[in-house]
């Protein structure tokens, strides 16, 4: 067993195989450890996040070591029948790779007793283990740019079902009509870790009833705009604004990452200034160019990227307003934001907060998973909730200077968990060069351009959990710095992770800027005697 560094509040436990990883996952769930905030299992690893003020990493590693080595408990989850049309476009190719007929592949796939081992890649995507070992087939050398929802595939020792149309490199052998992920169900993911799965050939099996394994979600009550309530009317914008809060933690079992504001310090500051609770919904506005009209009276604050604020009153008077300050608005005021001088994302808070119905417990918009409230469009009227009694406006200062497109931003990083997958020269190159922020960047991640990083290990990395701030290096050798909407798991090695104190800064780096990485730790995995994979 190896303990691989990720950040000061999390580490990766690497074990020999899936069975050992799930056995340790079971042991930790059955023996809760105070201070652990989340555990994300994967093909042969567990990512453990914890509160270092509650438990030290040394004490936690000692506890994890003591619990490792047990037996994996038998799956006891609900049995889910998955009807399949075995019409996948890779079926014939898979048959050729494995040296068996298509009918033999179908038979072996249907006779296997699968178990949902863990989730990741996309909401509702479960990695299904327990298949016939003779169906072990590598991923496609060239992933497809689009795989349809319901596609049934094979990759390595796993089978899986794509919950939505997305890119993917699994070998496709069939399709199912079942919806694997539906936010109008409880739970939204049809397959949960521990679910038992049986595939049924729709061409041969008699018709059977598909039993409901989940219940309809309660629909939120419709918002009613009263005559006395305040609201804002969206007038115009450049890039679509999105609603954000601190995200939906604790949904890893459904394959859903936290998401939330890309710059949490600025998000919290906006709410603090207008007297809102810290997790009140705001609008995240990328690169300014946004305007709205106030209906009724309100108090706003703008933090984050330094876009100029102008307010035009109902009588035509126009004034400029400052950042990081509570600003009183009257009925008919039109607020306009310019392009920011520095930073990428501004946070608009209104006293009381936007009246937005949560999706899976949060108003955060996850652009990768496509979960969250609909983005507002021109003409939309968004209601403002009444402010809580006794809440006070406040003053606040920015947590850091916003980076501009003409400067080089230095980000501290913790080396690991897969630094040893790269040559020594690549590691030195990663830390010594200036990386360019490309226009292909988004809330999912910052795509960097520079001298490609060479791998020492050319193998395929089994899927494992990733974090906000992870620097994942795909086959191109050009790193991607994951931001708030990163995938829950990934199959490319992470050379380093941005230190916790620079995560918000990373969320504000604009296109065109340069980034240099400063290692605040050496890569130093811990080997647990007698438990090394």
DSSP state letter for 501: G
Topology (CATH level 3) of domain 408-527 = Cyclophilin (2.40.100)
Measured between alpha carbons, how far is 420 from 2 in angstroms, rounded to an integer?
A: 13
Q: What's the confidence (pLDDT) of residue 209?
A: 52
Write the CA distances from 342 to 303, 433, 457, integer angstroms. Answer: 12, 23, 39
Domains 79-212 and 408-527 belong to one CATH topology: yes
Q: What's the confidence (pLDDT) of residue 493?
A: 96
Q: What's the confidence (pLDDT) of residue 529?
A: 66
Sketch the domain layout of the chain as residue ranges. 2-67, 79-212, 230-384, 408-527
- Reading across the β-sheet that carries 291-295, which strands appear in turn? 318-321, 309-312, 334-337, 291-295, 230-236, 381-384
The dihedral region occupied by 183, where left means phi > 0, alpha psi between -120 and 50, and beta the remainder, is alpha
Architecture of the 79-212 domain: Beta Barrel (2.40)
Measured between alpha carbons, how far is 201 from 103 in angstroms, rounded to an integer?
A: 11
Task: Per residue of the chain (533 residues), give pLDDT as tens.
Answer: 999 999 999 999 999 999 999 999 999 999 999 999 999 999 999 999 999 999 999 999 999 999 998 887 777 778 999 999 999 999 999 999 999 999 999 999 999 999 999 998 899 999 999 999 999 999 888 889 899 999 999 999 999 999 999 989 999 999 999 999 999 888 999 998 889 999 999 998 755 555 544 555 554 433 444 444 899 999 999 999 999 999 999 898 899 999 999 999 999 999 999 999 999 999 999 999 999 999 999 999 999 999 999 999 999 999 999 999 999 999 999 999 999 999 999 999 999 999 999 999 999 999 999 999 999 999 999 999 999 888 888 888 999 999 999 999 999 999 999 999 999 999 999 999 999 999 999 999 999 999 999 999 998 899 999 999 999 999 899 999 999 999 999 889 999 999 999 999 999 999 999 999 999 999 999 998 665 44
CA atoms within 13 A on the CB side of 262: 35
DSSP state letter for 201: E
Measured between alpha carbons, how far is 119 from 98 in angstroms, rounded to an integer?
A: 26
3-state secondary structure (DSSP) of residue 111: helix
Q: What's the confidence (pLDDT) of residue 448?
A: 98
Cis bond upstream, residue 451 (ω within 30): no
Domain 2-67 has CATH 3.30.1360.40: yes
| Longest Cα separation, the chain | 79
Considering only CA atoms, which of 483, 492, 469, 463 is closest in space to residue 125?
Answer: 463
């Amino acid at each position: 067993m190896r303990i691989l560094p990720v950040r000061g509040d999390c580490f990766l436990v690497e074990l020999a195989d899936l069975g050992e990883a799930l056995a340790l996952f079971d042991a930790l769930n059955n023996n809760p450890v105070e201070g652990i905030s989340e555990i994300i299992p994967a093909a042969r690893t567990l990512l453990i996040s914890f509160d270092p003020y509650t438990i030290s990493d040394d004490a936690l590693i000692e506890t994890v070591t003591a619990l490792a080595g047990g037996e994996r408990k038998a799956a006891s989850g609900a049995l889910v029948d998955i009807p399949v049309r075995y019409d996948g476009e890779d079926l014939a190719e898979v048959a050729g790779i494995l040296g068996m007929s298509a009918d033999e592949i179908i038979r072996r796939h249907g006779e296997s007793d699968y178990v949902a081992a863990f989730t990741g890649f996309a909401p509702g995507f479960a990695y299904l283990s327990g298949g016939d070992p003779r169906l072990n087939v590598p991923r496609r050398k060239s992933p497809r740019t689009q795989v349809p929802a319901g596609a049934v595939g094979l990759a390595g020792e796993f089978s899986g079902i794509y919950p939505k149309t997305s890119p993917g490199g699994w070998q496709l052998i069939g399709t199912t009509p079942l919806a694997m992920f539906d936010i109008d169900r409880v739970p939204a993911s049809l397959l949960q870790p521990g679910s038992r799965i049986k595939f049924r050939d729709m061409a041969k099996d008699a018709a059977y009833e598909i039993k409901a394994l989940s219940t309809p979600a309660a629909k939120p009550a419709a918002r009613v705009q009263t005559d006395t309530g305040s609201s804002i009317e969206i007038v115009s914008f450049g890039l679509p604004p999105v609603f954000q809060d601190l995200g939906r933690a604790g949904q890893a079992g459904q394959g859903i990452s936290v998401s939330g504001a890309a710059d949490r310090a600025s998000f919290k500051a906006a709410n603090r200034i207008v007297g809102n609770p810290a997790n009140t919904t705001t609008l995240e506005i990328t690169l300014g160019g946004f305007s709205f009209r106030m209906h009724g009276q309100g108090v706003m604050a703008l933090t984050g990227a330094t876009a100029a604020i102008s307010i035009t009153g109902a009588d035509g008077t126009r004034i400029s307003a400052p950042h990081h300050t509570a600003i009183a608005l009257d009925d008919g005021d039109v607020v306009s934001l310019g392009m920011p001088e520095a930073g990428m994302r501004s946070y608009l808070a209104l006293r009381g907060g936007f009246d937005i119905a949560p999706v899976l417990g949060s108003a955060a918009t996850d652009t990768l998973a496509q979960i969250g409230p609909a983005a507002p469009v021109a003409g939309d009227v968004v209601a403002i909730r009444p402010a809580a009694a006794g809440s006070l406006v406040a003053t606040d200062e920015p947590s850091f200077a916003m980076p501009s497109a003409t400067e080089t931003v230095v980000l501290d990083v913790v080396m690991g968990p897969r630094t040893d997958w790269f040559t020594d020269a690549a590691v030195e190159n990663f830390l010594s060069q200036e990386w360019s922020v490309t226009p292909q960047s988004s809330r999912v991640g910052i795509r960097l351009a520079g001298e490609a990083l060479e791998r020492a290990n050319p193998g395929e990395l089994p899927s494992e959990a990733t974090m906000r701030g992870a620097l994942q290096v795909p086959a191109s050798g050009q790193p991607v710095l994951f931001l708030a909407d990163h995938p829950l798991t990934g199959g490319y090695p992470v050379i380093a992770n941005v230190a916790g104190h620079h995560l918000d800064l990373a969320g504000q780096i604009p296109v065109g800027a340069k980034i240099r990485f400063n290692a605040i730790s050496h890569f130093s995995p811990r080997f647990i005697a007698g438990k090394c994979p």
